[in-house]
Structure 1
Amino acid sequence: MSLNDNLVNPNNRSLGPKAARRLSNTTKSIPMMDSITPRWLLSFLPWVSTEAGVYRVNKVIDDSNEGMCSDNIGEHCIPQNYMDYNCNPKEYTLNIIQTILKINSQVSDIFNSPINQKQEQMRLTIEKMREKQECELVNNSEFGLLASVDPSMRIPPRKGTPTPDDLDDLLATVWKKPAFFLAHPKAIAAFTRECTCRGVPPVTVNIFGSPFVTWRGVPMVPCDKVKIDSLGNTCILLMRVGEREQGVIGLHQPGVPGECQVPSLSVHFGGIDDMGIMSYIMTLYYGLAVLTNDALGMLENVNIGHYYDYE
């Protein structure tokens, strides 16, 4: 029996819930948004601070062993060699995501309790900006992960669907301290089905308080920004990360003027117009750099479409 059942009871002579609710307060949630994701890529990437928004990647021109001295034990040998540097190193300039948030001053004056309207508008806008940031880090045609994979680090699948053999091949390609795989959740599901069919279900570990599927001890990080085309084709990335490891790094500039909630995100008041509309200019500075070609590999054109044909 619900609270509203006695509204239709002719014998009910007490104050009904429908009328009583007019004198009571409701418990309200903050605004929910379906498009918010965990954005694990932003958490797994190590972030490096830039000076003046520019990061320069210096590289050795030729690091082969030719010219180094090697001789028998006991014989005098003086090695003579040096490492030459690239005179035109690549520079990464921070990119921006910028928007103008508009808030009616009457709304923030009158309808500001129990939930702060300005605070919630900014929170939701920042969520959208961070979603866009992760998408650009994966898909941007100039600096995104997909565009930064060297041709020598791209490998095809053995039979179309992602299999344990394919991920072993990818691990053999990025073999120097691989940090994590990055793939669409459906690609990870397709891979785990292949593993289960072969009787080798992958191990799950807890990272950041959440479960992650692993393969050979390397976590598989889900990211819905890795696209799946209409034919069910996608890719799986594997990367080494960090400056010390000559891997993939995120770039930002924390401490910018007007920094708000997120490092490298600034908020500046843009004034109030004649209609009482307040403007806030919100800017997020970020970038990504692949320090060496062998830090990022891709299993490309894996197909997962047939898993979902019958669903």
Structure 2
Amino acid sequence: MPDEVEARMTLGEPAARQLANATKTRAQMLAITPRWLISFLPWVPVEAGIYRLNRVKEREGLGDVECSPSWERDADLPETFVDYDPAPREYFLNAVTTVLDVQTRVSDLYNQPYDQIQEQLRLLIEKVKERQESELIYNADYGILTNTAPWMRISARRGPPTPDDFDELISKVWKEPAFFLAHPRAIAAFGRECTQRGVPPPTINLFGTPFLTWRGIPLVPSDKLKIADSGNGTGKTTILLMRTGEKKQGVVGLFQPGVPGEVTPSLSVRFMGINRKAIASYLISLYCSSAILTEDAVGVLENVEIGHYYEYP
């Protein structure tokens, strides 16, 4: 009986937890991804938000360039010149923006252990950067996929992506290709197909992370590449292969350093004031664009089947 009385008077764990300090995490967000496209693209700084892409007027042949010309006294040297496009395309930086509203009472009273404003800004900046990667692919004005030349697009063979499909894409972007860009499920489907054929793709480490490769070219995952329902229970997507950098006449990202309120290159956070309802507002702006310097810098493999279709939450 004494033992039973003692057990009944013991402080229970649920009650004890009320006096204990819980260790709290920062807010975790499922939508945050590595955003590898942004890391793999070389970024070019611009002035006044404008990037003018000068191109040569393409002509058949190499022009009047002669090999081992005759050096006789009366011989005429070949005359030629390289003509430029008189109306070059100009790219303008676009803004990905959002406004954070915070009730000052919340930020005044509930600021421990994490600063509420800084946490809200951190999460919204992550959302803005996720949108940036999507815009780099699909933006109607400067998106890499939407601006790929029609003659640089090929359709995949029926079924999952194969080594033959990838080799065909490499034949399109054969001048120093830098990386493939594909949805993770498309990379998984390609890996399965390679393994079944007895040629499993090797891996390399970049940025401290392993990547599958094909012909030495890394397969970079991005969930921003859309998957469409093909109507027969399977999903279809696209795979890109690109050459990058100004020196190689490839694809480049564009940004403008030194914007007002800059917290990272081309991303600014500016305080907009407090209204009469005690709401503090902050403007988050990320300025970016991209340019395909020559049309053969990007190839697209379309209608890639990846197996059973389902949507992510």
TM superposition score normalised by structure 2: 0.91
Determine whether 1:294 maps to 2:291: no
Aligned in 2, Cα 1:268/1:172: closer, same or farther, shift over 3 Å?
A: same
Structure 2 Cα separation of the partners of residues 9 and 254 of structure 1: 72
Count of residues paired in the alignment: 300
Structure 1 Cα separation of the partners of residues 194 and 16 of structure 2: 58
Partner AA of 2:243 in structure 1: R
What does 1:240-259 correspond to in 2, within 5 Å? 240-259=243-262
What does 1:1-311 correspond to in 2, within 5 Å? 11=7, 13-62=9-58, 64-71=61-68, 78-231=77-230, 232-260=235-263, 262-306=264-308
Gaps of 5+ in 1: 1-7
SS state of the match for residue 266, structure 2?
strand
TM superposition score normalised by structure 1: 0.91
Once the 2 structures are TM-superposed, how far is the Cα of residue 72 of structure 1 from its aligned partner?
6.2
Percent identity at matched positions?
A: 55
Gaps of 5+ in 2: none
Q: Does structure 1 retain, via aligned residues, the 8 Å contact 2:267–2:287?
A: yes
Once the 2 structures are TM-superposed, how far is the Cα of residue 108 of structure 1 from its aligned partner?
0.9
Aligned in 2, Cα 1:10/1:170: closer, same or farther, shift over 3 Å?
A: farther
Please list the CA deviations of residues 249-305 of structure 1 after superposition, one character each: whole Å capped at 9, or x if unmatched. Answer: 001111101012x21111111111111110111111000100000000011111123
Partner AA of 1:273 in structure 2: N
Partner AA of 1:292 in structure 2: T
Partner AA of 1:103 in structure 2: V
Please list the CA deviations of residues 85-114 of structure 1 after superposition, one character each: whole Å capped at 9, or x if unmatched. Answer: 111000000011111110111111110011
Q: Does structure 2 retain, via aligned residues, the 8 Å contact 1:161–1:304?
A: yes
Partner AA of 1:17 in structure 2: E
Once the 2 structures are TM-superposed, how far is the Cα of residue 9 of structure 1 from its aligned partner?
9.7
Of 153-162 and 72-81, deviating more is 72-81
Once the 2 structures are TM-superposed, how far is the Cα of residue 10 of structure 1 from its aligned partner?
6.9
Partner AA of 2:296 in structure 1: D
Aligned in 2, Cα 1:72/1:273: closer, same or farther, shift over 3 Å?
A: closer
Once the 2 structures are TM-superposed, how far is the Cα of residue 15 of structure 1 from its aligned partner?
3.1
